[in-house]
């Protein structure tokens, strides 16, 4: 049973029918929300319904916009584990530090959630051609789900996108193009191609369903924490759909009466000094972010100089009592190494900035040592060989081993 009532502009509040595909609001060119009849959902869907369901994002089907389950396009989007990281906790001097490891999802990142929903809804609407600008992982996920759905896919990415991302798009059969610019330039190309090529634009927040897929991160962690949310969530922010989606999930869970406490987490939007439009706008008390000039960071997923949902990210952060901040680009390899070496977690460079933010916010007292702190690892470190520049030592097996040098 589907409980969607309509789509609504997150900025001006204009309403749109749910039975047609939409991009941005035609009035103000801002993103659309999916809205539900939460009263009816509360009456017809309870926690007990989850018992015995498969451990995938589709266990929350009633809280998702799918109207035709037969159109679901899936690569088995598993519930991702939450790992307690005691050695890292000791390093930071905190009592409870967790990582939710999204690298376990298909194509190795959290992008699988959004693309699973976006492509499934596109299939419902009879769409056969899709396109996306990407910093890497979103393109790989879209290409994979489009292939699964039998759709034609076009991917445009900056020419310095990690090579693994380039190859996975090509392998999935997508028409893959490298662009001598940033993701915003790729987005412009995709937008211009809608009329020329007849594809549907699945850019971040330029269609309303990727955010619904990202919402499942919030639904999952609430269930995993037995419906009592953590005190703090640190999230690497580029386009921001994950942070926005979780905040939406928490509001919907509260309306359903599923949460044990009305207290919600402080949402911490984490960026690198190499690309920090959200952090800069937050620091200035602004709601809309200016384009970040000369964006450059090894964390390609957060190299988004202008996010269409900037005000949605900042609204969520402020409503939660959280913070948006940037930490030094040069520290990314350090935090990647620390998490991998101490906990065995293949931390991606985007998530590394969260540990820099945690260090700063503990010193400032924004985060307390007794808080339950959750960090999202949004992708697998193995997809970013360019982010690890260390040279390994060599051993000459044709000569006696010099053990003193080993």
Residue 330 has pLDDT above 80, yes or no: yes
Residue 80 has pLDDT above 90, yes or no: yes
- Mean pLDDT value across residues 10-26: 96
Residue 387 has pLDDT above 90, yes or no: no
Pairing mode of beta strands 152-158, 96-101: unpaired
**pLDDT in the model for residue 405:** 84
Nearest to 256 by CA among 33, 117, 48, 25: 48
- The dihedral sign for the CA sequence 10, 16, 17, 19: negative
Q: Which residues contact 261 (CB under 8 A, 6 or more apart)?
A: 228, 229
Does residue 250 contact residue 259 with C-beta atoms inside 8 Å? yes
**Cα 47–Cα 53–Cα 58 angle in degrees, nearest 5:** 90
Instruction: Give me the residues paired with residue 131 across strands.
Output: 154, 201
Q: Put the strands of the sheet holding 323-327 in their side by side order.
A: 82-84, 96-101, 372-377, 232-236, 266-272, 323-327
- Mean pLDDT value across residues 240-249: 97
Q: For the chain, what is the mean pLDDT?
A: 96
Residue 55 has pLDDT above 80, yes or no: yes
Residue 52 has pLDDT above 90, yes or no: yes
pLDDT band at 284 (very low <50, low <70, confident <90, very high): very high
pLDDT band at 140 (very low <50, low <70, confident <90, very high): very high
Rounded to 5 degrees, what are φ and ψ at 218? Answer: -70, -40
Could you give the CA distance from residue 325 to residue 237 in angstroms, rounded to a whole number? 10
Mean pLDDT lowest among 87-96, 283-292, 377-386: 377-386
- Mean pLDDT value across residues 303-316: 95
Determine the 3-state secondary structure of 354 from DSSP.
helix
**pLDDT in the model for residue 385:** 87
CA distances from 104 to 22, 78, 291, 305 (A): 31, 8, 33, 28
Exposure on the CB side of residue 88, measured as CA atoms within 13 A: 28
**pLDDT in the model for residue 136:** 84
Determine the 3-state secondary structure of 153 from DSSP.
strand
Could you give the CA distance from residue 321 to residue 365 in angstroms, rounded to a whole number? 13
pLDDT digits (tens, 9 = 90+) for 164-198: 999 999 999 999 999 999 999 999 999 999 999 99
**pLDDT in the model for residue 123:** 98
The structural domains of the chain, ordered by start, are 82-108+209-384 (3.40.50.1100)
pLDDT band at 216 (very low <50, low <70, confident <90, very high): very high
């Amino acid at each position: 049973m589907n409980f969607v009532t309509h789509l609504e502009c997150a900025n001006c509040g204009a309403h749109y029918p749910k039975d047609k595909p939409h991009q941005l609001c035609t009035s103000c060119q801002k993103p659309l929300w999916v809205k539900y009849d939460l009263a009816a959902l509360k009456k017809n869907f309870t926690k007990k319904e989850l018992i015995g369901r498969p451990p995938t994002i589709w266990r929350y089907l009633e809280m998702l916009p799918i109207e035709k389950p037969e159109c679901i396009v899936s690569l088995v989007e598993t519930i991702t584990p939450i790992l307690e990281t005691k050695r890292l906790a000791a390093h930071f001097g905190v009592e409870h530090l967790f990582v939710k490891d999204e690298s376990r999802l298909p194509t190795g990142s959290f992008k699988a959630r959004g693309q699973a929903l976006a492509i499934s809804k596109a299939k419902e609407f009879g769409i056969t051609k899709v396109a996306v600008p990407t910093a890497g992982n979103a393109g790989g996920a879209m290409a994979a789900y489009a292939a699964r759905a039998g759709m034609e896919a076009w991917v445009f990415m900056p020419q310095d996108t990690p090579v693994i991302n380039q190859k996975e798009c090509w392998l999935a059969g997508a028409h893959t193009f490298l662009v001598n610019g940033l993701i915003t330039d790729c987005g412009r190309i995709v937008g211009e191609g809608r009329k020329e090529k007849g594809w549907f634009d699945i850019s971040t927040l330029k269609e309303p369903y990727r955010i619904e897929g990202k919402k499942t991160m919030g639904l999952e962690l609430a269930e995993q924490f037995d419906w009592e949310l953590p005190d703090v969530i640190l999230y690497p922010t580029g386009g921001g759909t994950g942070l926005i989606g979780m905040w939406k999930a928490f509001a919907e869970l509260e309306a359903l009466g599923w949460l044990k406490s009305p207290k919600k987490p402080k949402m911490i939007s984490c960026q690198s000094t190499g690309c920090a439009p959200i952090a800069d706008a937050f620091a200035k008390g602004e709601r809309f972010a200016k384009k970040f000039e000369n964006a450059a960071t090894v964390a390609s997923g957060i190299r988004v100089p202008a996010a269409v949902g900037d005000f949605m990210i900042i609204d969520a952060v402020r409503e939660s009592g959280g913070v948006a901040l940037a930490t030094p680009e040069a520290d990314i390899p350090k935090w990647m190494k620390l998490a991998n070496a101490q906990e065995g977690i293949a931390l991606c460079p985007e998530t590394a900035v969260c540990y820099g933010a945690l260090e700063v916010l503990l010193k400032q007292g924004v985060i307390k040592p007794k808080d339950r702190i959750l960090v999202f690892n949004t992708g697998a470190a193995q997809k970013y060989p360019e982010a690890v520049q260390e040279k390994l030592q060599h051993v000459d097996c044709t000569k006696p081993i010099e053990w003193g040098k080993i």
